[in-house]
Amino acid sequence: MKPFSRSSLIALTTALALALCHLTCNVVADQIAEPHIMENQEHLDIHFNKNVANLMDVIDASDKLVLLYIFHSQITHDPNGQDWTMLDKMFMKVLEELKSGYVTTYAIDCSAEHPEIDPKIALAKICEKRDDFQPIFQLYKPAEIKINPYTGKEMPVQQISFASNQVSDPDVKRWITDNIPDYTQRLSTKEDADQFAEEIGIQKVYLFSAKQKVPPIYKALATHFRNRIRFAFVNIEGSSSEDLAKDFEVEKWPTLLIQNQFATPDSDGDKHHVFDGKMKLPEMIEFVAPFALAEDQKKEERVIQSKSQTTVN
């Protein structure tokens, strides 16, 4: 038999290596799992397998609404064929629509290597299930008054389950936005406004609106700057509210403004700084930020007695 030339041996070795890689490389690639859809989404305030061991302490310390989502990336279907990955995609769609600022999400993958879930979380044992495992999700709403003014005790975080059996994008989005804590003060009369404005050393933001309820975007704004600036809401329907609008020289709504506490009748400065951008949370945050106290200068929360209700700033 004619011996192989050097070039033939190189060609044969290369061919064998390519054939071997074709058989094994695909297997290795299949074994490398794709990142979960909620990984690397910190810009949406999604924390993937973070703070798992002390999660309840983190939730208790937060001023923001918290969404807890526990799933198992290796159990993608229930015994009836229900595709759980569709739930992952639905939550991501909702969170991408809301963007950062409305809710902080903690996503926990039961199949990942992480410490045991904080036992103070009522759902901590869910990862031990296998045959009947299904993803769970729950909201944790911070108390709008941290300390009970009558007992002096800390108010507990409220756990809110999703009430409907049918899970859809609009329902989940509404479930989240309806439960954003409200740190605003509703003003109905001039007396309310005077009482709200009397606190010194901190700026005040006002939203004049035709809406009956405080919009979620304004609650999210107030949460972002909690105790660094005070937030008031005025529904312009009603004679007293109309008088307030006139006092603030508001002629259209919604109008977002910051009262210039340094203005005097003799000064040339504007009485108010009026927001002229789009009602989008990032733009509103950018408008308010220069007037807010620094984190280390935050004020204590303030309970205000109003004719209509007791609220907290």
pTM value is 0.82
Closest CA to 118 of 61, 41, 176: 61
> What digits encode the pLDDT tens for the residues 69-109?
999 988 888 888 889 899 999 999 999 999 889 999 999 99
Phi, psi of 188 (to 5 degrees): -120, -25
Which pLDDT value is given to residue 33? 61
**Distance of alpha carbon 218 from alpha carbon 223, whole angstroms:** 9
Q: Which of 62-66, 160-164, 201-205, 241-245 is least confident?
A: 241-245
Closest CA to 301 of 181, 146, 143: 146
**Distance of alpha carbon 97 from alpha carbon 94, whole angstroms:** 5
- Residue 121: is it exposed, middle or buried by C-beta count within 10 angstroms (0-12/13-18/19+)? buried
3-class SS string, the chain: CCCCCHHHHHHHHHHHHHHHHHHHHHHHHHHCCCCCCCCCCHHHCEEECCCCCCHHHHHHHCCCCEEEEEECCCCCECCCCCECHHHHHHHHHHHHHHCCCCCEEEEEECCCCCCCCCCCCCCHHHHHCCCCCCCEEEEEECCCCCECCCCCCECCCEEEECCCCCCCHHHHHHHHHHCCCCCCEECCCHHHHHHHHCCCCCCEEEEEECCCCCCHHHHHHHHHCCCCCEEEEEECCCHHHHHHHHHCCCCCCCEEEEECCCCCCCCCCCCEEECCCCCCHHHHHHHHHHHCCCHHHCCCCCEEECCCCEEEC
- What domains appear along the chain, each with residue ranges and CATH number? 42-178 (3.40.30.10), 185-312 (3.40.30.10)
Which pLDDT value is given to residue 29? 40
> What digits encode the pLDDT tens for the residues 9-57?
445 444 444 444 444 444 444 445 688 899 999 999 999 999 899 999 9
Which pLDDT value is given to residue 56? 95
> What digits encode the pLDDT tens for the residues 257-297?
998 765 444 445 567 899 999 999 999 999 999 999 998 88
